[in-house]
């Protein structure tokens, strides 16, 4: 699942198609390593699609609060309210928006991308979540760029 840009896989996941291993930590590690080495070597490939997929995988991991990769289960954590399919899809939509925001530096563009291309179901609550997440992400990006 780490081949290609990752945007079609995220769109399928957000629209209800259950793709195996699309939001797993192994997929994230392969995607990050592959994009890092290909961009560093000068290959003609874009980093925007993999950033969207990486944002979706990170958001999915945060919403679940556990991973099968390291065998850690945090069932007692505060994430138990988010361990349903609807909340996981909302987090993945916000992660995709954050990926677009980090790729282009455009928080409203990230929200609009996630709204238009990603989710088939959208709520006002999800719009505000994605909007504040993108602005927070852009603020951190600018801070680390300036103060390193």
Q: What is the pLDDT of residue 68?
A: 63
Which bin fits 43, alpha (ψ -120 to 50), beta or left (φ > 0)? beta
* Mean model confidence pLDDT for the chain: 82
**Lowest-confidence region among 52-66, 72-86, 96-110:** 72-86
Residue 97 CB contacts under 8 Å (≥ 6 apart), including other chains: 55, 110, 111, 113, 114, 118, 130, 133, 134
CB atoms within 10 A of CB 103: 20
Secondary structure of 64-111 as H, E, C letters: HCCECCCCECCCCCHHHHHCCHHHHHHHHHHHHHHHHHHHHCCHHHHH
CA distance 144 to 148: 5
Tokens 């980090």 found at = 102
Side-chain-facing half-sphere of 106: CA atoms under 13 Å = 10
CA distance 93 to 111: 9
Q: What is the pLDDT of residue 36?
A: 87
Tokens describing residue 57: 């995988």
Q: What is the pLDDT of residue 71?
A: 67
Task: Please indicate whether residue 109 or residue 1 has the higher confidence score (pLDDT).
Answer: 109
The model's pLDDT over 16-73, given as tens digits with 9 standing for 90+, comes to 888 888 888 888 888 889 888 988 898 888 888 888 888 888 888 887 776 666 666 6
């Amino acid at each position: 699942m780490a081949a290609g840009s990752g945007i079609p896989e995220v769109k399928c996941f957000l629209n209800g198609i259950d793709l195996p291993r699309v939001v797993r930590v192994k997929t994230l590690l392969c995607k990050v390593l592959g994009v890092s080495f290909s961009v560093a070597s000068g290959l003609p490939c874009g980093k925007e699609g993999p950033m969207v997929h990486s944002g979706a995988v990170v958001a999915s991991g945060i919403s679940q609060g556990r991973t099968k990769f390291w065998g850690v289960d945090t069932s007692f954590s505060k994430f138990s309210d988010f361990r349903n399919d609807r909340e996981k899809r909302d987090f993945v939509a916000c992660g995709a928006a954050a990926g677009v925001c980090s790729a282009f530096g455009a928080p409203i563009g990230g929200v609009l991308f996630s709204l238009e291309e990603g989710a088939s179901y959208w709520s006002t609550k999800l719009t505000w979540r994605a909007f504040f997440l993108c602005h927070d992400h852009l603020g951190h990006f600018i801070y680390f760029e300036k103060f390193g």
